Amino acid sequence: MQSMRVQLAVFDIDGTLLHTGQPLSPHTMAALHDTYRRGISLALASSRPAAALDVIADTIKLPMYRIAYNGAYAEDLRGDDIMTEAFRVDAPLLTALQHYQQRGGTVHLYDQMHRWIAFGDRGRVEEEERIVGVRVHYRTTMIDTRDVETPLFKALCQGQEQHLGEVRELLAAQGDLNLLSSGRDYYDIHPVRAGKHAALTALCKHLQIGLDEVAAFGDSDSDAEMLAHVGLGVAVGNASARARTAASVHLEGPGSGALEDFLLQLQPPSSLDS
């Protein structure tokens, strides 16, 4: 790869920086520290809630911008909002989510107060708590009207895709919400105006840099638009077809050492300008 001017490196978490449910490796953390020391700013861009990104950033021990809820929320290094996009669950969507639950799906809501509310299978919820490193605010059996009074950053449908037909058809007809896969049996609902690309665009405006000065790394459908619009889009590991098509480079996954070696090739602006 030819050296390019990189002001910012943006990383999805699950399937990109680490295997889902596994900790960050010392090798990966060392590579991130080296990248930062060379003058390249860092950001996390994940479907995980904001509190879970705090856990990852605290583990890495570096200043990192955060894009959470698959791009519905972004914050700066002080924790101040850069972008927020929320939506309300109307009666038809509530009914569709209830039917999805009745078919065996689990629903997670992430509201504007940064609360995580879960409905359905206890085992799935506890496993999600273990993966993201934060606790659910409360869990109950079936979603109802009282649970959707506060606007949401994201709703997550966890379960088999074949049971999402009613939800998918409704969102396609309404047109103001997206349904995107963020991993196996994970399907995120968020505003069309949101998404990792939209949040990254807002972050770049905040930093007064161009998208062409960004290297982005991801592996899922929810990363694809971001990977397609940056200067260097990198699909990692078992990336989805959409992510691979959007990216200009494909690397082996976490644990292979490919990401860490690749980061050594990124050059900060000062080294290219000298």
Q: Is pLDDT of 210 > 50?
A: yes
Give the span between the Cα atoms of 139 and 119, in whole angstroms: 6
DSSP-based three-state secondary structure for 6? coil
Give the span between the Cα atoms of 3 and 21, in whole angstroms: 33
Give the span between the Cα atoms of 266 and 262, in whole angstroms: 7
Domain boundary among 126, 156, 191: 191
pLDDT in tens, 155-176: 999 999 999 999 999 999 999 9
Give the span between the Cα atoms of 30 and 36, in whole angstroms: 10
The CATH number assigned to the domain holding 222 equals 3.40.50.1000
- Residue 230 lies inside a defined structural domain of this protein: yes
Bridging pattern class, strands 249-251 and 186-191: unpaired
Q: Is pLDDT of 121 > 70?
A: yes
Predicted pLDDT of residue 108: 97
Domain boundary among 140, 163, 191: 191
- Residue 1 lies inside a defined structural domain of this protein: no
Structural domain span for residue 99: 91-191
**Counted domains in the chain:** 2
Least confident of 24-38, 95-109, 260-274: 260-274
Handedness of CA 162, 168, 170, 172 (dihedral sign): negative
Give the span between the Cα atoms of 205 and 201, in whole angstroms: 6
Do 97 and 178 fall within a single domain? yes
Do 80 and 202 fall within a single domain? yes
Q: Is pLDDT of 138 > 80?
A: yes
Average model confidence (pLDDT) for the chain? 94
- Residue 186 lies inside a defined structural domain of this protein: yes
- Residue 75 lies inside a defined structural domain of this protein: yes
Give the span between the Cα atoms of 135 and 177, in whole angstroms: 27
The CATH number assigned to the domain holding 179 equals 3.30.1240.10
Give the span between the Cα atoms of 45 and 66, in whole angstroms: 6
Residue-by-residue DSSP string for 179-247: EEEEETTEEEEEETT-SHHHHHHHHHHHHT--GGGEEEEE-SHHHHHHHHHSSEEEEESS--HHHHHH-
User: Cβ contacts of residue 87 below 8 Å, gap of 6+?
Assistant: 151, 152, 176, 177, 190, 191
Least confident of 3-7, 32-36, 182-186: 3-7
Predicted pLDDT of residue 274: 37
Looking up tokens 């605010």 gives: 137
Mean pLDDT of 131-139: 95
Domain boundary among 165, 191, 217: 191
- Residue 123 lies inside a defined structural domain of this protein: yes
Q: Is pLDDT of 3 > 80?
A: no
- Residue 3 lies inside a defined structural domain of this protein: no
Q: Is pLDDT of 112 > 80?
A: yes
Do 186 and 199 fall within a single domain? no
- Report the share of the chain in percent with pLDDT over 70: 97
Do 203 and 71 fall within a single domain? yes
Do 177 and 97 fall within a single domain? yes
Region label for 265, one of left (φ > 0), alpha (ψ between -120 and 50) or beta (otherwise): alpha
Both tokens assigned to 46:
């994940």
Mean pLDDT of 2-18: 89
- Residue 50 lies inside a defined structural domain of this protein: yes
Do 119 and 146 fall within a single domain? yes
Do 131 and 219 fall within a single domain? no
Mean pLDDT of 35-61: 96
- Residue 29 lies inside a defined structural domain of this protein: yes
| Full-model pTM | 0.93
